[in-house]
Structure 1
Amino acid sequence: MGFQRYKQSKGSDMKVLHCITSTGFGGAQIMLLRYLRALGQRAHDHSVLSLMPQDAIGQEIASLGVPVHDLGLQQGRYSVRALKTLRQHVRHTQPDLIHGWMYHGNLAARLATIASTAAPPVLWAVHHSLQDIHNERRSSRFFIRSGAALSGGVSGISYCAQVSAAQHEAIGFASDRSIVIPNAIDTDEFRPDAEARARLGAIAGIPDGRIIIGNVGRDHPMKDQARMVAAIARLLELGYDVQGVLIGTGQDVGSARRASHELGISDRISTLSERSDIAKLVSGFDIFLLPSAWGEAFPLAVCEAMACGVPSVVTDVGDTGLIVGETGAVIPPSDTEAQASALAKMVDLGPSGRKAMGAAARDRICQNFSMSRYIDAHDQWYHEALSQGQRGAWSLNMASKTGISK
């Protein structure tokens, strides 16, 4: 029973199985949630299978009426039994195509169809940059290289960033199936909010009139958030009345918190743990700073801040330069003085100058990174995969059709 017979037996509706590593908080998980939410009633043709136990994002997806299942695997632990369960799940649900998310989810999606006589096409989504594979954990390096070896057997590979596509192709990911579908933002959820400044100030104890430099992201060495604190310390030395705010998992005890104590500016650094009301707080920033040294592909936090009308200073990692364009400042990574200088220039613009830059930033997000564009790109990708089959040649070059303005 070949692929064409399998596809024809399914009728006109397209059933999509999303195979993802986990449903905890993360960029790929959030994009899957936003995508399914934006589909509305069409989301009922989709289902999700998580390798790890269902977590917060999985619960939100299930609340949309989308079936969510999991294999119950613990991080770093895999088994033949789990693979057997996965293959049984695919045979039982009979999706028209399988959409893998993240390295482990991608590999699982491919392994679920190897040697199957009625396999649906498999698509992979890569939401990770790969500046240097040696920066990755040993286990991650194994799965990345395994992905490269198996990538020729899938129908398509999407990357959320152009830089990510080039990096993965350089280590052997199949380039003839590569497309770029940039991440997207719900601009109705993330929008300017006149009350956000007071709301954030009350939560973090920030006096009125103080310039707030914000960052949203988990505590991790690649985020280089201790350097953000050092840049803020430099601004304070120069006489600027600023407050740093970092929001994300581990921030209450992370590197930024420790650096603030070491530099003697703990009262000027506010750290908040992971929150579910980010959209109601980000608009309260005066400036958004992405200090990351590496590891970013297409950082959602930058797009969210821009959609909220907040001008950004970003390090030149991943596709940040493409995201920001001329609506913010792009600086070299791992450079404290460059961060402090760019932030000082942004502060010196004054409220009206920052507001104008922030408005241009929001327009850029609305024009280039809307959810409607994201849905259209996936519709086109899915239909192309179905028409080509499991191992058909890939013809759609989204990298040249993103239409992102300069």
Structure 2
Amino acid sequence: MPTPKVLHVITGTSIGGAEMMLFRYLRAMGPAKDRHRVVSMMPPGPVAERIAQLGVRVDSLHVDVVWNIAGGVIRLQRLIDRLEPCVVQGWMYHGSLLASLAVRLARREEVGLVWAIHHSLSEPRREKRATRAVLHALCRLGGRTDVITYCARQACQQHVAFGFPADRNQVVPNALDLSEFAPDPLARSRLQAAAGIPRGRRIIGTIARSHPMKDHAAFVAALACLLREGHDVQGVLIGAGQPDGPAVQAARAAGIADRIVALPARDDIAALVPGLDAYLLSSAWGEALPVAVAEAMAAGVPAVVTDVGDSGWLVQDCGESCPPRRPDLMAKGLARILALSPDDRCALGLACRARIEHVMSMPRYVGTYAQIHAAAMSRRSRARPVGAHA
């Protein structure tokens, strides 16, 4: 069976876990990427430029406000009619919604439809009202899908409980290129220079945009606990909205502003992350399988995570897991990592990397999606002869 022509519809192309996963997936495909094309619902972001540099075209529907969605669906439907893809794959909630509506509007029963869900749903009431509306719409549209992929087991269970179809699901963990994220003895000096951190200070970091679900106030509170216990630590947060964001405000209120460095999103994360002593994921909800944690682990950095989504499953015995909104327990987990001897710390770092290599192989990811696209095409060919319209 020839490589299918796949049209990926993603919510946006800013720096984020799902966005970077799409970029890395396309990069890992080699020449087969020429059969793929990307459409961003929102105006182009930095990941769009990276994808375009691979030679994959990125179109934008320029839907940046809710009342533009109808126009975006029409533009996407026209693109589907012109390109005649074999499979349309929606990424994240809004991308999946637009993909579904456009395929229906185009009346292309022969086109496979795949959703890629990269969000957990432990507390639906915490989602924005507009997001909840999208979720309910997806429940109604789910019958047209051929495969729904989830990057985490808990995310799959939570969405089925919410009302998503239960009979066409597949868990596909995110993947990493281990040549990109790896231990690097020079990373610490680069990180110290980028963040202005004195030598000798232990560095606790997180890579994430500023968002309430990330609970960066808990990150700061955990750091404050460590400082009270006599640990010479520095917190580093890197991501969109971090400078002067809630973490910085919480640090000022706690009197530890000099121990928090908040940097905007950067494109050299792989060169900095190996310089951390530990990674802290403080999220209160919303995580599925956090790519940033996996990147740190691949670089040999042990992580303390809240047990949200599949975060606990990811780290297993290579780090520490605790309930969300418990900065005291986050601090205890970090303290145990900081107390390790150099030999034990090295062994733990190697175990972290081995864990990621085992569960997040990029070749396996590419092969799995090739099978999913083929399965969607096969299901459609049984439903209606290729080329027939409803």
Interval containing the TM-score (normalised by the shorter chain):
over 0.9
Task: Specify the alignment match of 2:137 in structure 1.
Answer: 146
Alpha-carbon distance in 2 for matches of 1:233, 1:132: 28
Assess if the C-alpha contact under 8 Å between 2:110 and 2:380 holds in 1: no
Task: Specify the alignment match of 1:352 in structure 2.
Answer: 343
2:166 is the counterpart of 1:179: no
Structure 1 residues 80 and 243 mapped into 2: Cα distance closer, same or farther (>3 Å)? closer
- State which of 18, 21, 26 in structure 2 corresponds to 1:28: 18
Task: Specify the alignment match of 2:44 in structure 1.
Answer: 54
Following TM superposition, by how much is the alpha carbon of 1:290 offset from its aligned partner in structure 2, in angstroms? Answer: 0.7
Structure 1 residues 89 and 235 mapped into 2: Cα distance closer, same or farther (>3 Å)? same
Structure 1 residues 148 and 118 mapped into 2: Cα distance closer, same or farther (>3 Å)? closer
The AA in structure 2 aligned to 1:288 is Y
SS in 2 for 1:252: coil
Alpha-carbon distance in 2 for matches of 1:208, 1:56: 33
2:253 is the counterpart of 1:262: yes
1:177-256 counterparts in 2 under 5 A? Answer: 177-256=168-247
- State which of 38, 42, 45 in structure 1 corresponds to 2:35: 45
- Structure 1, unaligned stretches of length 5 or more? 1-10, 393-406
The AA in structure 2 aligned to 1:353 is D
Alpha-carbon distance in 2 for matches of 1:390, 1:50: 27
Task: Specify the alignment match of 1:366 in structure 2.
Answer: 357
Residue by residue over 1:98-154, the C-alpha shift from the partner in whole angstroms, topping out at 9 and shown as x without a partner, is 111111111111112226155411111111111121111111111101001111111
SS in 2 for 1:325: helix
Task: Specify the alignment match of 1:109 in structure 2.
Answer: 99
Residue by residue over 1:190-209, the C-alpha shift from the partner in whole angstroms, topping out at 9 and shown as x without a partner, is 10011000111111121222
Q: Which moved more, 1:50-59 or 1:301-310?
A: 50-59
Following TM superposition, by how much is the alpha carbon of 1:79 offset from its aligned partner in structure 2, in angstroms? Answer: 4.6
Assess if the C-alpha contact under 8 Å between 1:198 and 1:284 holds in 2: yes
2:68 is the counterpart of 1:68: no
Task: Specify the alignment match of 1:403 in structure 2.
Answer: none
The AA in structure 1 aligned to 2:223 is I
1:289-308 counterparts in 2 under 5 A? Answer: 289-308=280-299
Q: Which moved more, 1:36-45 or 1:263-272?
A: 263-272
The AA in structure 2 aligned to 1:95 is P
The AA in structure 2 aligned to 1:301 is A
Task: Specify the alignment match of 1:395 in structure 2.
Answer: none
Assess if the C-alpha contact under 8 Å between 1:17 and 1:47 holds in 2: yes
Alpha-carbon distance in 1 for matches of 2:175, 2:128: 28
Following TM superposition, by how much is the alpha carbon of 1:381 offset from its aligned partner in structure 2, in angstroms? Answer: 1.0
Following TM superposition, by how much is the alpha carbon of 1:307 offset from its aligned partner in structure 2, in angstroms? Answer: 0.3
SS in 1 for 2:130: helix
Residue by residue over 1:328-357, the C-alpha shift from the partner in whole angstroms, topping out at 9 and shown as x without a partner, is 111111112111111111111133222211
Structure 1 residues 119 and 108 mapped into 2: Cα distance closer, same or farther (>3 Å)? farther
Following TM superposition, by how much is the alpha carbon of 1:81 offset from its aligned partner in structure 2, in angstroms? Answer: 3.6
2:308 is the counterpart of 1:324: no
The AA in structure 1 aligned to 2:94 is H
2:117 is the counterpart of 1:135: no
Following TM superposition, by how much is the alpha carbon of 1:178 offset from its aligned partner in structure 2, in angstroms? Answer: 0.7
Alpha-carbon distance in 1 for matches of 2:69, 2:132: 19
Residue by residue over 1:197-251, the C-alpha shift from the partner in whole angstroms, topping out at 9 and shown as x without a partner, is 0111111121222111111111111111111111111111111111111111111
Alpha-carbon distance in 2 for matches of 1:267, 1:84: 51
Task: Specify the alignment match of 2:388 in structure 1.
Answer: none
Alpha-carbon distance in 2 for matches of 1:147, 1:209: 51
Residue by residue over 1:230-277, the C-alpha shift from the partner in whole angstroms, topping out at 9 and shown as x without a partner, is 111111111111111111111111111111111111111111111110
- State which of 73, 82, 89 in structure 2 corresponds to 1:83: 73
Q: Percent identity?
A: 47
Assess if the C-alpha contact under 8 Å between 1:310 and 1:354 holds in 2: no
Assess if the C-alpha contact under 8 Å between 1:154 and 1:391 holds in 2: no
Q: Which moved more, 1:75-84 or 1:381-390?
A: 75-84
Alpha-carbon distance in 2 for matches of 1:207, 1:321: 32
Task: Specify the alignment match of 1:99 in structure 2.
Answer: 89
SS in 1 for 2:29: helix
CA RMSD of aligned residues (A): 1.5
The AA in structure 1 aligned to 2:334 is L
Q: Which moved more, 1:350-359 or 1:282-291?
A: 350-359
The AA in structure 1 aligned to 2:97 is L
Structure 1 residues 191 and 79 mapped into 2: Cα distance closer, same or farther (>3 Å)? closer
Alpha-carbon distance in 1 for matches of 2:109, 2:306: 46
User: Given the two structures, how large is their TM-score scaled by the length of structure 2?
Assistant: 0.95
SS in 2 for 1:176: coil
Residue by residue over 1:171-193, the C-alpha shift from the partner in whole angstroms, topping out at 9 and shown as x without a partner, is 11001011100011111111001
Alpha-carbon distance in 2 for matches of 1:334, 1:118: 46
